[in-house]
Structures are given as structure tokens and as C-alpha cells.
Amino acid sequence: MNRLPLEDIAVAPATRLGTLSWVGMEGIALPFQVAGQGVTGRASAGVSLDDPTARGIHMSRLYLALAELEQRELSLMRVAAVLDGFLDTHQGLSQSAFLDLSGEAMLKRPALISPLAGWQRYPFTLRCRRDSQGFHATLELTVGYSSTCPCSAALSRQLIQQAFDEDFIDMPVSREAVRAWLGSEQGILATPHSQRSQAHLAVRLAGEQDELPLVRLVDRAERALGTALQTAVKRIDEQAFALANGQNLMFCEDAARRLHHALREQPGIGGFRLRVVHAESLHAHDAVARSEWNWDAASCS
């Protein structure tokens, strides 16, 4: 039986003329690696359609080009090469290529004091573009941390002071009596409220760098905040975590300023936007602060 040549409808002229800024696919399953660990990733791949007479692009060519990233460490050079492949297979049709890669990076984080360690998840998206101006990359990252309210801490200290005055009003004050009182339930009459918080970072990657700076960004953000979420802990780690929270009282404004200064000092960053969210345990709503530096939304999208 003779097979007829398969018709390619995409090469037929468009019935309505016009260019399109982005055409492609979203939600493509793509396994790759970050920091040596496998990621069940998702990709959104596309190109511009700059020929106003063309019916469409060749989506299968975009899909097949993603094979260069399968099961391999995610690097900026590999992504740039894939984008070059998008344009090479769409010559005459497209002048810009786009690729977004997202997933959860798995990093092993040590306990504060004990030798224990455990895995922490860091959701991220790498947004890359190739156009006439060159290669552009933006890394979006979420880092979790704990935040203790300074106002709540101050009010708790005041209540403890009042309880101390009442309990020792007719009692001689000695070092032993005060130490015993501090170790009793009366000594912690009130506790400040804390919340599990998140820092959402978007950084524009600058310069000629190949390695994805995700681990360095996580490390810098967690050092700046001082109260990173923990994994496996012993009681000595839990006590150290309580101490870290007590020494790092933060409103959302404090957390945003800490991160702003930390990111300004991070090499390889050309600009950033950040948003911190303190999921209030006192209120049903959240406290939020935003900041940005050298951020041009149009050039980073």
C-alpha cells in the first residue's frame, strides 16, 4: 500500500495576518537535576511568531529540543543552547525564544547543633529568554523561615514582669528563688506568637555564569533571616531554634530589609524583587512586605 505524504497544515498561509508574542506549550513533564538531586520538573516552551503570514509554529520541534535537559544538571549554558535550538528550527518564523523550568529543589540541611540532617524543599522557577538583545535569565525561589513578632514579645515580657512583681511582693529576693521562679510555669506566663513565613525571591541573573546559583541564594537568604525551618532535630536543636527566634524578632518589614541588603551583596545578580509573607497566628490575614532593586518587569518577564 502506497502511503501519501503527510500534509503539514502549519506551513499553510494564515487566513488572518498578524504576529504573536508567544506560541508554545505549558506544563510539559521534564525530569532534570538541581544540586545533584532529581527534580520532577515542568517546562513551558515557546517562541514568538514574527511572520504575520505564517499559520503556526512547529511545536514538536520545541518538545524534542527539551531532551537535552533530561536527567542532567540544570545549567544556564544548557538552557541557552536549547533556546538557540528553538530559534534554529524556526528560522524565518521566530526572533525570540522562551523557556520556563519549575520544580522543587531538594537540599539536605543540617540540624543547628546535633549531627542530624534532613531534606528541605525549595520551590523555584527559572525563566529564560533569547532575543536580539541576548540571553536573559530570572530565577524565582521560595524560602521558608520562622518569624517571631517583636510586639508580641514585648507584651509577653511585660506580663512576666507583672507576674514577678506580684509573686515577689512580700518575698525576699534571692538568686536561688529567682532562678526557681524562672524555671516554673509562672516564669513563662506568656509567650510571643510566631508564624511560619515565606520569602519569595525573583532575581535577574547577570554576567557570564553557568551554574544555577540556587544553593547560594538559599544559603544567603537563610543566613540573613537567622531562623530557617528545620528538618530532623533533637531537643538540643529545638532549644537552639527557640534561642534563634528570640534573638531574631522580626516584623515583615524587618525580614524584607534583611533580605534586600543580603541580595544587594550577592554576586551575579543584576536586579531583584522580593516579597515576604508572615502567615499570622494572631490574625486570620497575613502580613506582607515587598521590595525591589534595579527591577524592570518588562525585561525580566
pLDDT at 300 over 70: no
Whether 62 contacts 118, CB under 8 Å: no
Terminus-to-terminus CA distance in the chain, angstroms?
A: 51
Whether 92 contacts 200, CB under 8 Å: no
> What SS3 state is found at 74?
coil
Question: Mean pLDDT across the chain, nearest whole number?
Answer: 92
pLDDT digit string, tens, across residues 5-44? 766 666 677 778 899 999 999 999 999 999 999 999 999 9
C-alpha cell recorded at residue 278: 508572615
C-alpha cell recorded at residue 166: 506580684
More confident residue, 90 or 173: 90
pLDDT of residue 9: 66
Exposed/middle/buried for 295, CB within 10 Å: 0-12, 13-18, 19+? Answer: middle
Least confident range of 2-6, 86-90, 106-110, 173-177: 2-6
pLDDT digit string, tens, across residues 75-91? 999 999 999 999 999 99
- What is the enclosing helix (H) or strand (E) of 221? helix 214-225
pLDDT digit string, tens, across residues 113-138? 999 999 999 999 999 999 999 999 99
pLDDT of residue 167: 85
pLDDT at 179 over 80: yes
User: Which residues are CB-contacts of 168 (< 8 A; sequence separation ≥ 6)?
Assistant: 177, 178, 181
pLDDT of residue 149: 92
% pLDDT > 70, the chain: 95
pLDDT band at 281 (very low <50, low <70, confident <90, very high): confident
> What SS3 state is found at 78?
helix
Question: Interhelix angle for 252-264 vs 214-225, to 10°?
Answer: 140
CA atoms within 13 A on the CB side of 85: 19
Mean pLDDT value of segment 38-60: 96
C-alpha cell recorded at residue 20: 504573536
Rg (CA), the chain: 27
pLDDT of residue 301: 53
